[in-house]
Structure 1
Amino acid sequence: MHKPFLLALICLSLCSAQAQKTGLIPVLIVDGFSNHDWKQTSAVTKWILEESGRFEVDISTIPADSIQRESWNPTFGNYAVVIQNTNNIQNTRLRWPTQAERNLESYVKAGGGLYILHSANNAFPHWKEYDKMIGLGWRKSSEGYTLEIGPSNQITRIPPGEGQGTGHGNRFNALIQILNPHPINKDYPSQWQTANTEVYYFPRGPAENLTVLSVAYDSTSTKKTWPVEWVVAYGAGKVYNSSMGHLWKGEFYPPAYRCVGYQTTVIRATEWLATGKVSCPVPANFPTAKTQSLRAEHTFKAP
């Protein structure tokens, strides 16, 4: 057994013991660079999770200084779930240190949970194991398979070189359609409306060990249906990936984050990544196919 894998396994055992002691699930958000508002994204996500009373959330910010960045290497095994909130799509020279990359791989392989938050699936085309962990991401047409959903909910696997690279049209109030039942979406309506969302068309990657949870029709661009949420098995670990959760520069706690359906999904996905189960109930004001459900604007205050 490789030493990093063994250390990750030991840390995960300690993490489990700590979670049982405090009753809260330990979560780490990783941020530091993105073309999105990563500071506010991390702050709102931390608030959503901690307000549920189920989680204790830390944030590890990758240093801006390149020398300091090289020594950045969190102990992922201290946490049941790592939420990845970095994206280098506009500057591919910004990367995690190699040792941190290897440690994340070992952490997930040993049973850790990884949440890929919105544009984090745009990141790191150089990192082949990351591609395997995320399953599908923002990639060129030559870089991996894409999954298109047909009119009868059949999945067509489109090979590299066919179709387009990943993109999205304008944001819109997307109708999320459950494709596969899962603990995360248990008791959800079969369709529910979320606010001001990007639906990625032609998301690409290895698409291995992957289950599509939900899909949405891209009404603003391709006029086709694409995956919105999916989970990936990577070693003994679990990965949740979704294009929901867009928070752009200049926005403040926007409707996409105020959506009760989105917030419920963040909580339930994180709990499932940590425990393999979901105890968070579906709230009575969960959105339906015809109606949105947004929390009040003043509920969240930025730090």
Structure 2
Amino acid sequence: MNCYQLPIVLKDMIKSLIFLTFLICSVVSQAQQPENSKKVIKVLIVDGFSNHDWQQTTKVTRHILGKAGLFEVFVSTAPPDIDDEQWAEWQPEFTDYDVVIQNTNNINRQEWRWPARVEKKLEDYVRNGGGLYILHSANNAFAHWEEYNRMIGLGWRKKEQGVALVIDEQQKVVQIAKGEGKNTFHGDRYDAVIQLLDRHPIHKGFPNAWKTPNMELYKYARGPAENLTVLSYSHDSVTRKSWPVEWIVNYGEGRVYNSSLGHLWKGEIYPDSYRCIGYQTVLIRAVEWLARENVTYKVPAGFPTRDTISLVDDSISTD
């Protein structure tokens, strides 16, 4: 090797070392990534009965979550009749999933309940670190179930069944005592401005207020309200009060998300309330947060503002 060849050899050696260093750093970086950021989030929707259109609600929810590319969604449907023999075999395995979405409601048929063994399994699942998403009318359900009331924090209840929460002009959460005020109710659906109260990871990158169409706002939602954080609220011109829209509850080691967003009534197919870019983003991010305690799903372009509603331009099969 002469003196003219040496610089070329050194350059090749340096290039090889740089490439090797980059390769090692890449492997180490991947190895250090949290395990839960690698895996698909497994979600179980539980449905089967409701005074709302639970079939269409499940279908549209699966559609929205499917678009995010983060989830694998399964469904467990309760037997079709109260006296059905299949109840003895209905045994959803909550612990097989990262998040459970509750989409049943027995408000008009109090005798239609989950078996006690299934209730206990859900309690244990959440208490031991599971994530539970209460989908709109699911907070109307199971007033008899004491631990369910604790898990959801607030629900559709009579005034004797718990406190209510209201947000005052200083954005402070104020309790309305058990027995005072009214039973839970709602007025006509309307285009509601959602005002953020707690800057939670679910809402990272959101404007402070955004508008969603055809919403059903619950007034005097009631319950134990233990370990509860109100995330957002909306003002009602009839009662002249601001009521919680979204809230989260810590239950043991687990997390629960609850809101009055996501109304879907009989005869509706993929309505504007579900086409809302704001609602779809909240749904996806809330489910991701319940599973991982962080959020990676980006705020999409065209997110609604305080003055404008934004709808996705897609379709869903009517089968």
TM-score of the superposed pair, with normalisation by structure 2: 0.87
**Aligned counterpart in structure 2 of residue 38 of structure 1, from 40, 47, 54:** 54
**Aligned counterpart in structure 2 of residue 249 of structure 1, from 266, 271, 274:** 266
Q: Could you say which residue in structure 2 is the equivalent of 1:277?
A: 294
Distance 1:302 1:145 in 2: 41
Distance 1:295 1:53 in 2: 17
Q: Could you say which residue in structure 2 is the equivalent of 1:47?
A: 63
Q: Could you say which residue in structure 2 is the equivalent of 1:134?
A: 152
* Aligned AA (1:163): G
Question: For residues 247 and 78 of structure 1, do their structure 2 counterparts lie closer, same or farther at Cα, with a shift above 3 Å needed?
Answer: same
**Aligned counterpart in structure 2 of residue 100 of structure 1, from 106, 109, 118:** 118
The Cα shift of 1:207 comes to 0.2
Kindly provide the CA deviation profile for residues 227-283 of structure 1, in whole angstroms up to 9, marking residues without a partner as x: 000000000000000000000001111010000000000000000000000000111
Matches within 5 A, 1:126-205: 126-205=144-223
TM-score of the superposed pair, with normalisation by structure 1: 0.91
Structure of larger gyration radius: 2
* Aligned AA (1:227): P
* Aligned AA (2:47): D
Point out where structure 1 has 5 or more consecutive residues left out of the alignment. Answer: 1-15
Distance 1:282 1:194 in 2: 15
Q: Could you say which residue in structure 1 is the equivalent of 2:256?
A: 239
Distance 1:294 1:301 in 2: 18
What's the Cα RMSD here?
1.4
**Aligned counterpart in structure 2 of residue 61 of structure 1, from 61, 66, 77:** 77
Distance 1:245 1:208 in 2: 24
Distance 2:281 2:51 in 1: 25
Q: Could you say which residue in structure 2 is the equivalent of 1:5?
A: none
Contact residue 230 and residue 240 of structure 1 kept, 8 A: yes
The Cα shift of 1:302 comes to 3.3
Distance 1:69 1:175 in 2: 42
Distance 2:236 2:113 in 1: 31
Contact residue 166 and residue 202 of structure 1 kept, 8 A: yes
Q: Could you say which residue in structure 2 is the equivalent of 1:12?
A: none
Residue 284 of structure 1: SS of its match in structure 2?
A: coil
Residue 129 of structure 1: SS of its match in structure 2?
A: helix
Runs of 4+ off more than 4 Å: none
Contact residue 149 and residue 227 of structure 1 kept, 8 A: yes
The yes-or-no answer on 1:261 pairing with 2:278 is: yes
Kindly provide the CA deviation profile for residues 165-198 of structure 1, in whole angstroms up to 9, marking residues without a partner as x: 1000000000000001100011100000001001
Q: Could you say which residue in structure 1 is the equivalent of 2:42?
A: 26
**Aligned counterpart in structure 1 of residue 95 of structure 2, from 59, 63, 77:** 77
Contact residue 71 and residue 97 of structure 1 kept, 8 A: no
Question: Percent identical across equivalent pairs?
Answer: 57
Kindly provide the CA deviation profile for residues 115-158 of structure 1, in whole angstroms up to 9, marking residues without a partner as x: 00000000000000000000000000100010011111111111
Point out where structure 2 has 5 or more consecutive residues left out of the alignment. Answer: 1-33
**Aligned counterpart in structure 1 of residue 136 of structure 2, from 114, 118, 121:** 118
The Cα shift of 1:218 comes to 1.4
Distance 1:61 1:222 in 2: 38
Distance 1:155 1:24 in 2: 36
* Aligned AA (1:179): L
The Cα shift of 1:20 comes to 7.0
Distance 1:109 1:154 in 2: 29
* Aligned AA (1:287): P
Q: Could you say which residue in structure 2 is the equivalent of 1:227?
A: 244
Residue 213 of structure 1: SS of its match in structure 2?
A: strand
The Cα shift of 1:71 comes to 2.7
Distance 2:191 2:88 in 1: 41
Q: Could you say which residue in structure 2 is the equivalent of 1:289?
A: 306
The Cα shift of 1:70 comes to 3.4
Residue 132 of structure 1: SS of its match in structure 2?
A: helix
The Cα shift of 1:284 comes to 1.7
Residue 238 of structure 1: SS of its match in structure 2?
A: strand
Contact residue 183 and residue 277 of structure 1 kept, 8 A: yes
